[in-house]
């Protein structure tokens, strides 16, 4: 049984990544590929409990937050991502390692060496096969998130912090062009879904 593919979605607030992750799962279903949709932090009960703690209140030390995200990821990989991929099913995940690199690394100031070391130990071999970075002007993204009443505590961030997040994701995409595909998140929802499906089709389905 061939191992399943692992696809992640990344981007700033209101970039539309959760919506597009769902579209991709529907597309894959239509191709006869069993796919599990999940998210970080969360995905399994233990990690969902950590999510509630992490997102409720900013801890005094950025290290606390960083390590809790890592702990939640360990549980998610062990309890869901790895077993599902081993079964030959695909996993689509809303946020993963790049969110840690950007939010904890760029915004919260955790040293890049520590981020990289913990990432290696946390993730092991479970790196995404493909990552879509939904890129949108933070003004549009935050307005969208506000309109949906879905402001996470990061939405109180300043314009400069939102720009740092945006640039952080774009820098990762530039550094890892084989893994990352940047998609213009300001386009029409269905058009973006079509673009994403076409990348997956070309890169993963036609090659079997
Ligand atoms: P969520 O409500 O899922 O935000 P969004 O709808 O934008 O995905 O909250 C997740 C928040 O957690 C988000 O603001 C980014 C942050 N985050 C990190 O800081 N580090 C991480 O490793 C992950 C996975 C998320």
Show me where the domains of the chain are located.
6-205
Q: Is the pLDDT of residue 155 over 70?
A: no
Mean of pLDDT over the chain = 95
* 147-172: b (≥16 Cβ within 10 Å) or e: eeeeeeebbebeeebbebbbebbeeb
Q: Please, is 74 exposed, middle or buried when counting C-beta atoms within 10 Å of its C-beta (0-12, 13-18, 19+)? A: middle
Q: Is the pLDDT of residue 153 over 80?
A: no
Question: Which residue has its alpha carbon closest to ligand 1 atom 5?
Answer: 13
pTM over 0.75: yes
Q: Is the pLDDT of residue 148 over 60?
A: yes
Report CA-CA distances (Å) from 191 to 7, 16, 181. 19, 12, 15
Q: Is the pLDDT of residue 208 over 60?
A: no
41 lines ligand 1 (CB under 6 A): yes
Task: State mean pLDDT over 79-104.
Answer: 98
CA distance 108 to 63: 9
**Which fold does the domain 6-205 belong to in CATH?**
Rossmann fold (3.40.50)
Q: Express each pLDDT in 101-133 by its tens digit.
A: 999 999 999 999 999 999 999 999 999 999 999
CA distance 21 to 16: 9
Distant-in-sequence, close-in-space partners of 36: CB < 8 Å, separation ≥ 6? 80, 84, 89, 90, 91, 92
pLDDT attached to residue 146: 86
In the chain, what percentage of residues exceed pLDDT 90?
A: 88
In the chain, what percentage of residues exceed pLDDT 70?
A: 96
40 lines ligand 1 (CB under 6 A): yes
pLDDT attached to residue 154: 59
CA 121–ligand 1 middle distance (angstroms): 21
103 lines ligand 1 (CB under 6 A): yes
CA 55–ligand 1 middle distance (angstroms): 8
Task: Band the pLDDT of 171: cuts 50, 70, 90.
Answer: very high
My answer on whether omega of the bond before 41 falls inside 30° of 0, hence cis, is yes
pLDDT attached to residue 158: 87
Task: State mean pLDDT over 55-70.
Answer: 95
pLDDT attached to residue 143: 87
100 lines ligand 1 (CB under 6 A): yes
Q: Which of 16, 57, 152 gets mutated to test ligand 1 (max ligand atoms within 8 A of its CB)?
A: 152
Task: State mean pLDDT over 84-104.
Answer: 98
- Of residues 57 and 96, the one with the higher pLDDT is 96
Atom index in ligand 1 nearest the CA of residue 13 equals 7
Task: State mean pLDDT over 146-163.
Answer: 79
13 lines ligand 1 (CB under 6 A): yes
Q: Which of 8, 41, 43 gets mutated to test ligand 1 (max ligand atoms within 8 A of its CB)?
A: 41
CA distance 33 to 56: 36
Task: State mean pLDDT over 150-175.
Answer: 86
Q: Is the pLDDT of residue 163 over 70?
A: yes
């Amino acid at each position: 049984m061939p191992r399943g593919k692992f696809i992640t979605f990344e981007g700033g607030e209101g970039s539309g990544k959760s919506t597009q992750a769902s579209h991709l799962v529907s597309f894959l279903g239509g191709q006869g590929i069993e796919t599990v949709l999940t998210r970080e932090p969360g995905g399994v009960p233990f990690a969902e409990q950590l999510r509630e703690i992490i997102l409720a209140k900013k801890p005094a030390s950025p290290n606390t937050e960083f390590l809790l995200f890592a702990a939640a990821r360990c549980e998610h990989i062990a309890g869901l991502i790895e077993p599902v991929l081993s079964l030959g099913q695909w996993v689509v995940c809303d946020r993963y390692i790049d969110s840690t690199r950007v939010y904890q690394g760029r915004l919260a100031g955790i040293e890049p060496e520590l981020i990289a070391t913990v990432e290696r130990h946390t993730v092991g071999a479970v790196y995404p096969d493909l990552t879509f970075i939904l890129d949108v002007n933070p003004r549009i993204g935050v307005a969208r998130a506000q309109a949906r009443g879905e402001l996470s505590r990061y939405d109180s961030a300043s314009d400069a912090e939102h720009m740092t997040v945006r640039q952080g994701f774009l820098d990762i995409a530039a550094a890892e062009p084989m893994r990352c595909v940047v998609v213009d998140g300001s386009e029409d929802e269905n058009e973006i879904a079509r673009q994403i499906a076409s990348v997956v089709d070309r890169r993963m389905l036609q090659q079997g």
